[in-house]
Amino acid sequence: METSPVIRPAVVLLAAVGLALTACSQPAAVSADDAATLARTAEAHAHDTPVATPAATTAPRVAVTGRDVVYATVGGKPVTGYLARPKGSERKKLPALIVIHEWWGLNENVRDEAERLAGEGYVALAVDLYQGVTAEAPPAAMKLSRGLTENPGPAEDNLRQAYAYLTRDLKAPRVGTIGWCLGGRWSFRTAQLFPADIDATVIYYGSVKAEDADVAKLRMPVLGLFGSKDRVVPLPMVQAFEAQAQRLGRDVTIKVYDGADHAFANPSGTAYDAPAAEDAWARTTAFLAANLKR
């Protein structure tokens, strides 16, 4: 993999603003809802390991290239992600995806998943919200996940710069977000951070909120994929979110897989459910094509 040491000018400008915001951010008390979600996550993943699943090991539909790139500076430190795109497309302005990792971090499985997404005709940037750290065991993953919950400011700055990198530097005409578990939650959050700019959002069993203020921000089409046996994101939470989206007239499509558990389509982990994951992939690719390739 090729590593780029250069931070592009547009990202530098945005980073300067983000740096000031990050410097002012302080760890916040975790809300009761977030604490409950963290506890359910720890329980669901207690015996999990970040082994590669078919979501990561399935080859891209077309040949792709990938390399490490510095796309942001957060807290004075460069942030390296993984950029994948169809081979030979370097001169093309392709729609882009912000790919957000699971609670394990930006590991090789997520890089492989980014390549698989790139094979569908996108520039896929797998971001790193943990800034170079990955976890191999649930306690370490929980510590990292809790850190994001307590202090989301740096991650928000990270994602703002990822969007700038894709649109200003790579000239992507449209940008979507996608993530699994923790990444699904942050895919939802990214849609709220810049709702006028994101063109499509895919949430794989990330915790969602049904409050008016959260749902009303969703101006883009949203696809949510959940499991009926998910203990981390219980079905009533999903149903409340869906009902509120319908009430507010938002373009939100929800698919619940009967019998599927949390993390059923993760690039990493032991909960992979092939029928559910394969159907979810088909829905994801169709949804992204309809909203990003128009």
Burial class (CB in 10 A: 0-12, 13-18, 19+), 247: exposed
Residue-number span of the structural domain to which 100 is assigned: 9-292
| Arithmetic mean of pLDDT, 107-132 | 98
- 3-class SS of residue 192: helix
Please name the residues in contact with 226: beta carbons below 8 A apart, sequence gap of 6 or more: 205, 233, 235, 238, 254, 255, 256, 257, 260
In-domain check, residue 1:
no
> Given pLDDT bands bounded at 50, 70 and 90, which one contains residue 30?
confident
- pLDDT (average), residues 251-269: 98
pLDDT score, position 294: 81
Over residues 77-95, mean pLDDT: 97
Domain-located, residue 250: yes
Q: State the Cα–Cα distance between residues 23 and 171, nearest whole angstrom.
A: 29
Mean of the pLDDT values across residues 102-120? Answer: 98
**Closest alpha carbon to 169 in 89, 72, 252, 102:** 72
- By CB atoms closer than 10 A (0-12, 13-18, 19+), residue 193 is middle
> pTM of the prediction?
0.90
Q: What percent of the chain has pLDDT over 90?
A: 88
Q: How does pLDDT run across 63-78, given as a tens digit for each residue?
A: 999 999 999 999 999 9
Position 3 in a domain: no
Give 155-214 pLDDT, tens digit per residue.
999 999 999 999 999 999 999 999 999 999 999 999 999 999 999 999 999 999 999 999
Does the structure show a pLDDT above 60 at 4? no
Q: Can you tell me the mean pLDDT for 14-21?
A: 37
pLDDT in tens, 211-259: 999 999 999 999 999 999 999 999 999 999 999 999 999 999 999 999 9
pLDDT at residue 22 tops 60: no
* Burial of 46 per CB tally in 10 Å (0-12, 13-18, 19+): exposed
pLDDT tens-digit readout, 141-167: 999 999 999 999 999 999 999 999 999
What average pLDDT does the chain have?
91
Question: φ and ψ at 258, to 5 degrees?
Answer: -65, 125
Within-domain flag for 4:
no
How many domains are there within the chain? 1
The answer to whether residue 107 sits within a structural domain is: yes
Considering only residues 253 and 23, tell me which one the structure prediction assigns the higher pLDDT: 253
* Pair of tokens at residue 288: 């992204």
Domain CATH number, residue 159: 3.40.50.1820
Residue at 210 is within a domain: yes
The confidence score (pLDDT) of residue 3 equals: 35
